[in-house]
Structure 1
């Protein structure tokens, strides 16, 4: 059976500079075992599978798989899937707005006039966190002591660690063993470090998302969920000025994330480009 398939690059306007995502455009009839096998085969950070919605308010339902299992929510798969479906002419119930159904419920995606997409950051639980392992895990003492490290949980859990500057973020060379122990102590999916950029830059923050998978360090190119957690963290401190973040610099990517605050929602957005458009045999 041939099924429509796209591979897209999210949070970038230039191919090969963002975070890639595989989208299986119609997963009806595929078993959980097949979904998992396809995700392992694509070997990307996430692969999404589009299904008819179960909630009548949604335009579609999506299941999000990593090579290790299923996630209830993730940011760049949300935007990448929406982009792929819009490009394919997917009908929407409300023009200018997409409603995705996933493991955390309904997530709204806003369509901008320039083609950028933004998802509404899900609600989150914030828990301050402290652990002596942070220094050895990051091989750094350049912490921003005016802000507290915090676990932010929005279905996927991130440990946010503020550093003193963008350069301090770029200079981090993690210890894989200690980072793994730290993330086990915090019971999180990954760690995001962040620091402010100089005032003359186009973006305001440099961010990095660090994970340990199968005993090896993985740095995510651009991470929607971690940036959504960071926006929730700032909002909890009363910082609700729109900003832009830069991610992927250390691994030669050019991820750009726009964060916008409104009374109704916090929007995490960016551009997406299609790199592969075809079919997959299943």
Structure 2
């Protein structure tokens, strides 16, 4: 049975920038359900950082605006990833807006992932603009990200970063690196080594490596996808709008921080990594003890500039209470998978 698919470029409003994503519609017949190996083969065929498999909705899910997705890299299924979540949110909510089922207000729904339920929304400006021609449709979505934020006990030493990325061992960049980097999970199964570099030149000097970090996670947190997320602080732009949390009626305004980042995992570089962006934003918010609104530019060095937004709200004990990921997406291609072997 042929399976329809759509590709989008995520975290951008311009086609052929951002991070590409394929969304494959799973069969409506239970007798035609794809196996895990078949899904993995399809993800390898697309050869993108992630591929989403969109389940058919039950009548109750349609009524409640609930969509279930599976997320696969080219190597494995993952419980959560940022750019598939934002891409899927733009795709499913954009179609509601196209069909006139939301009026001109905020469009809301829920995406179900292995990491949990993710409330998603389109702001009024995005939902009203989505009614334009599909050739130029650009949509921005927000997602309330599930989190089980955890900083692992053993950091990643500077010498290991330099071994994997020799450019950081050169005399011109060695001083740009801290003595160690924290290893942090946003949820079980999604872990990142957060490596801060002091100069943009050191960030630009990096190149992909096929070697894996080879780290040890705290008990109960393995197995996990592990990526190395490099970041450079571009600017701190004062405070923005308040981040709402349940901890207090009046929440301090969020400081706005601008970052440049790069992410390497499984031998390749990723143009945009929403899960890593959420992990980093949570880490910076908790270590600095303040609500943060982070604006991230990633993928510049690949020629696929991506713009990622993350807002983190802390509770009274400085614990992570709310994580909101935001970004745009634009549809690029549509087609059918002709035969599933």
Q: SS of the residue aligned with 1:185?
A: coil
Question: How much does 1:232 deviate?
Answer: 1.2
Note the 1:93-242 alignment, pairs <5 A: 96-115=107-126, 116-123=140-147, 124-128=149-153, 129-131=155-157, 132-139=159-166, 140=168, 141-143=174-176, 145=178, 149-153=181-185, 154=187, 155-173=189-207, 176=209, 180-181=211-212, 183-186=213-216, 188-197=225-234, 204-212=258-266, 217-237=267-287, 238-242=289-293
What is the CA–CA distance in structure 1 between the aligned matches of 2:118 and 2:111, rounded to whole Å?
5
- Report the aligned-residue RMSD: 2.9
Question: How much does 1:227 deviate?
Answer: 0.6
2:326 aligned residue: 269
Question: How much does 1:240 deviate?
Answer: 2.2
Q: SS of the residue aligned with 1:210?
A: strand
Q: SS of the residue aligned with 1:38?
A: helix
Q: Per the alignment, do residues 148 and 120 of structure 1 end up closer, same or farther by CA in structure 2, a change over 3 Å counting?
A: farther
8 Å Cα contact 1:205/1:244 also seen in 2? yes
2:220 aligned residue: none
Indicate which of 69, 78, 89 corresponds to 2:85.
78
Q: Per the alignment, do residues 27 and 233 of structure 1 end up closer, same or farther by CA in structure 2, a change over 3 Å counting?
A: farther
Deviates more, 1:218-227 or 1:148-157: 148-157
Question: How much does 1:186 deviate?
Answer: 4.5
Question: How much does 1:27 deviate?
Answer: 4.1
Deviates more, 1:271-280 or 1:82-91: 82-91
Indicate which of 48, 64, 67 corresponds to 1:60.
67
In structure 1, list runs of 5 or more residues that go unmatched.
Answer: none
Question: How much does 1:279 deviate?
Answer: 3.2
Q: SS of the residue aligned with 1:189?
A: strand
What is the CA–CA distance in structure 1 between the aligned matches of 2:106 and 2:123, rounded to whole Å?
11
What is the CA–CA distance in structure 2 between the aligned matches of 1:20 and 1:270, rounded to whole Å?
13
Would you identify which runs of 4 or more consecutive aligned residues in structure 1 move more than 6 Å?
A: 53-58
Deviations 1:131-185 (A, max 9, x none): 231223233124454x9621121231111111113332122246x36xx25x112
Question: TM-score, length-normalised on structure 1?
Answer: 0.85
Q: Per the alignment, do residues 280 and 192 of structure 1 end up closer, same or farther by CA in structure 2, a change over 3 Å counting?
A: same
Deviates more, 1:83-92 or 1:60-69: 83-92
Indicate which of 288, 298, 301 corresponds to 1:247.
298
8 Å Cα contact 1:25/1:85 also seen in 2? no
Q: SS of the residue aligned with 1:7?
A: strand
Of the two, which has the highest radius of gyration?
2
What is the CA–CA distance in structure 1 between the aligned matches of 2:201 and 2:121, rounded to whole Å?
33
2:245 aligned residue: none
Q: SS of the residue aligned with 1:236?
A: helix
What is the CA–CA distance in structure 2 between the aligned matches of 1:10 and 1:167, rounded to whole Å?
26
Q: Per the alignment, do residues 152 and 31 of structure 1 end up closer, same or farther by CA in structure 2, a change over 3 Å counting?
A: same
